[in-house]
Amino acid sequence: MSKLGALQAGSRHDLHIDISPDAPDESEVDRGEGAFGYAHSYESSSRYDGPGLRVVLFLSGCLLRCTYCHNPDTWHLKAGTYVSADHVLSRLADFAPALRSLDGGLTISGGEPMVQLAFTGRILAGAKQLGLHTAIETSGFLGDRADDKFLANLDLVLLDIKSGDPETYRRVTGRELAPTLRFAERLAAMNKPVWVRFTLVPGHTDDPANVASIAKFVGPMTNVEWVEIQPFHQLGAFKWKSMNLEYQHENTQAPTPELIKRVTGQFQEAGCHVR
């Protein structure tokens, strides 16, 4: 049993390693009640991860292995602090009046929030009781795990579609694309608001056909409010080095304004609102 700790204020750019060495493997299905879980850190004033001012809670655990991941220290549950959902919600309650007055709320990111589905669900339900807007940022890979009760406590899904071509998706994430598309279709069928996020990595995800297949898929979905193009950056490179992981992107450059313009145009031509 991991030792119960306190939620760490900080940043997604802080490096966390081996905080709970006896945590279970993240590939184990989360069948618990969600009273406890593993959290990397939280930020209290993001204006980037959903509408208004957000508290962003970063949970540990992810089954993907994106080659450009800027938070590889969130991959394993053992990198997170073992905390109770009640503790998380009591910290959140301190921020709730400000979040409500600034039309914001809670975004749970990671890692992948649906690795610890019950824990995430319990926090989302508590956030709704505090009167907060709720969101998760997810790859959608574990979308089949999300039951209707989980989705009912979600106001917005920030859905990372990392590639539209299955082969490219497999190459950059190590996993299959199909579950993400299936989850996106389910969210569209229930008219759940979605912001699609696409990380533009020159030489890896920028192929016009790859972008076009995402745009063609997302364009007709009226529940998709925004497509956000996220330019590749090197802010997470130091984590790969600190963790002795093989980093493929030493020489990958940030996308040029011309490339961003081309990709923006591809999404807009498909009928997407882009930012």
- The site for ligand SF4 (CB under 6 A) is made up of 62, 64-66, 69, 71, 74, 110-112, 139
Nearer to ligand SF4 by C-beta: 45 or 230? 230
Whole-angstrom distance, CA of residue 216 vs CA of residue 263:
13
Task: Tell me the residue ranges of DSSP E strands in 122-161.
Answer: 133-138, 156-160
Residue 36 β-bridge partners:
84
Residue 249 Cβ, how far from ligand SF4 at the closest point, in Å? 12
**Among 67, 63, 75, 69, which residue's Cα sits nearest to residue 38?**
75
**Among 117, 118, 115, 43, which residue's Cα sits nearest to residue 77?**
115
Nearer to ligand SF4 by C-beta: 2 or 74? 74
Nearer to ligand SF4 by C-beta: 191 or 242? 242
Residue 172 Cβ, how far from ligand SF4 at the closest point, in Å? 9
Residue 269 Cβ, how far from ligand SF4 at the closest point, in Å? 27
Nearer to ligand SF4 by C-beta: 62 or 85? 62
How many CB atoms sit inside 10 A of residue 99's CB? 23
Residue 101 Cβ, how far from ligand SF4 at the closest point, in Å? 31
Distance of alpha carbon 246 from the chain centroid: 22
Q: What are the Cα distances from residue 202, in Å, to 24, 40, 151, 198, 236? A: 36, 29, 34, 12, 16
Residue 137 Cβ, how far from ligand SF4 at the closest point, in Å? 8
Nearer to ligand SF4 by C-beta: 64 or 85? 64
